[in-house]
Amino acid sequence: GRQGWCVDIEVVGGRDFPPYNKASCFVCATLLGASGEGGVGGADEDKGLFFFSHGGDLLLDHNVSKITPQEHLSRNTSPPRFNLNAQMRTRTVKVDQGTLQPSWADRFLCTDAHPPLPSAAELLRGASPPEGRTRLAGQPLAVLFTAHAADPIGGDKFLGMVDLRVEAGGGADGWFDLRSREGAPVTGRSGGTSSLRLKVRYHHRPP
């Protein structure tokens, strides 16, 4: 029979995370179909990154709220904001407050992805984000990672995001800067840019 496709994701660790009160954090990740035109943002060819939030088009986040667990679109924000249900979530790990360098080494294997999202203009005209997931068939993908500080009392705090564009047969391996929802670099305690160590491979599934 024909082989399917899968994406192998490893969230290795973080470096120079922003200061926060609660010394534990986690990372969420979701695969999305990468629309070639009009949809979620544009590619930065130099870095292979796929910035959803560049150009003020659409703000993306992971829904980590325990109050509204369903995916949610806010059309009354500018730009519109869509909260995705995370496909993967790492363990919550304790972080040394002196260094703020978390270590997860958590690995996930995915065989489906969220369908491509409409553009902000389409959403404002009344389009709804697609529901469900589609099987991986070699289509171009974007991978959204969000880092959060875990706070059982005040609610989990968004720290920053990474989004990567991956093609079938390829992937990404390295340190990637955390950015705000608007695309600005996130600054860590030392004044440098906070980053995530990530490994992503998009390959044929073993038979």
Cβ 11 vs Cβ 178: under 8 Å: no
- Per-residue confidence (pLDDT) for residue 41, from 0 to 100: 40
For residues 118 and 147, give the distance between their C-alpha atoms in angstroms, rounded to a whole number.
24
DSSP element (H, E) containing 122: helix 120-124
Name the average pLDDT for the chain. 82
Query: CB-based burial of residue 153 (10 Å sphere; 0-12 exposed, 13-18 middle, 19+ buried)?
Result: exposed
Read off the pTM.
Answer: 0.88
Per-residue model confidence as pLDDT tens digits over 101-122: 899 999 999 999 999 888 777 8
Q: Is the pLDDT of residue 52 over 70?
A: no
Q: How far is CA 147 from CA 13, 126, 160, in A?
A: 11, 30, 5
Determine what percent of the chain is predicted with pLDDT higher than 90: 43
Query: Out of 2-6, 105-109, 184-188, which region has the weakest mean confidence (pLDDT)?
Result: 2-6
Q: Which residue has the higher pLDDT, 67 or 101?
A: 101
